[in-house]
Amino acid sequence: MQVRISPTFRLNTGWLSTGSTGTRHFGDDNHLILGNSFQTKRTFPRCLEGIKAMSIIRASVPRPEIDKERLQRYRLERIQQQLRDRDVAFCVLVNPVSLRYAIECREYQGFQGHIPSMYAFVPAQGPVVLHGATQRHYLMVDDYRAQERLNVFEGGLDLTDHARLFADSLNAFIDEIGLAGENRRVAIEMLNPSVTQAVLQVGLEAVDAEPIIEKAKSIKSPEEIACMRHSIAVAEFGIAHMQELLEPGIRETELWSVMHQVNMAHDGDWFDGRMLCSGPRTNPWLQEASDRVIEAGDFVAFDTDMIGPFGYCADISRTWLCGPAEPSEEQRRVYSQAHQEVMYNIDLVKPGMTFLEFTEKAFRQPEEFVGRRYPCPAHGIGMSDEYPKLHYPQDVARGIYDGVIEENMTLCMESYCGSERGGPGVKLEQMVLVTADGCELLTNYPFEKALL
């Protein structure tokens, strides 16, 4: 069969053919379009050979049985308790991570992050209402309603009228939950200033929802810890695949793509970055994956930032030497410095320690590493990077906040070492659970003995 196709394929005499296997290819007399790849017929056989050589990574890490209702009930009640503690009538949740935490809503999370089309009303006491959702199966949701169009994509360039209607709906919900005349404090996440202005105009008090949600998320339940352990196991399965595939000639992006396939195969979600680099790109840090070809003797460093199964983050960093090669003394020295920092700070953390006390007592790197230090030596972790962020002594002058490390917090203990003189850079990171008497490691992937 041959059919003319649209000029949008940039072919003057295009055709579509159906082979004996039913596979369909667009093309012309000299070219084929395979997926999104425009190939000459001469290169197509080589392309096909590459496809045949690819193997699918299966979901090989067993998924644990989790009491989902208990998990979700705990998280919702954590938010509601924070609302009561702060005397807030209800919160409006928009952030896709907050929506998943509160009600396990998982619809188009990437889209929701930049075009917020859904929002939830979560009261301190009363019905939870989800606006704009497609699905209707959420255990913690009591009612589903249409949403106001609070973004330009849906509402146009002037959002004033939509913001006013939204503010009126907040007033109506205050009445609905029986707080008219009693509590007019509403916590709101991530919406345009036009919304805040409209809310104030109808006599409501708008407060920030982010501190409420971050405080709620900071203490984990046993079910959350089980979810995190599974996400970590999946990430470490991917890390093992990457290390097995690491060899001279592979590109940074090709190596990093393994993590994406492993995460998706295990029903994970996304990555907060693409943080893998090699050779001279390891110093300074935060140079994300490129098409650079990795060479023998290179350091390869990465930070997973993986939002994995159940929506929980596996945040693990390791640095490897690409063989065949022996590590240099400088590579060993820098690796050892990073390893010392991580292990020292893990031993330092105890429940009841203040954030400022940690800053004062934390590991001190030699001066050559200070200028290119990581943004923080430790931070909270859960469904993403979370409160708190602990700081280095050098950051105190800029103003840092205090608080208390508590039992059942989960933290990432970080180190990046790269000398301002240049040379190799090393990134290492462990995830820990704060227990009654210290820290329990959540991550299991080994460090490189040959570099210590």
Give pLDDT tens digits for 404-415: 999 999 999 999
Residue 59 falls inside a structural domain: no
Whole-angstrom Cα distance, residue 191 to residue 196? 8
Residue 60 falls inside a structural domain: no
* 206 and 230 together in one domain: no
* 206 and 227 together in one domain: no
Helix (H) or strand (E) holding 74: helix 68-85
Residue 58 falls inside a structural domain: no
Burial 312-336 (b: 16+ CB within 10 A, else e): bbbbbbbbbbbeeeebeeebbbbbe
CB 91 within 8 A of CB 189: yes
- What pLDDT is attached to residue 432? 98
Whole-angstrom Cα distance, residue 196 to residue 178? 23
* 118 and 83 together in one domain: yes
**What range does the domain containing 159 cover?**
68-217
Classify strands 185-188 and 90-93 as parallel, antiparallel or unpaired. parallel
* pTM attached to this predicted model: 0.89
The per-residue pLDDT for range 266-300, each reduced to its tens digit, is 999 999 999 999 999 999 999 999 999 999 999 99
Whole-angstrom Cα distance, residue 255 to residue 367? 33
Which of the residues in the chain have pLDDT under 70? 1-54
* 193 and 227 together in one domain: no
Whole-angstrom Cα distance, residue 186 to residue 166? 13
Tokens found for residue 80:
């509601």
- What pLDDT is attached to residue 404? 98
The number of C-alpha atoms within 13 Å of 95 and in the hemisphere containing its C-beta is: 18
- What pLDDT is attached to residue 56? 80
Burial classification of residue 250, based on how many CB atoms lie within 10 Å of its CB (0-12 exposed, 13-18 middle, 19 or more buried): middle
51 Cβ contact partners less than 8 Å away, ≥ 6 residues apart? none
* 213 and 247 together in one domain: no
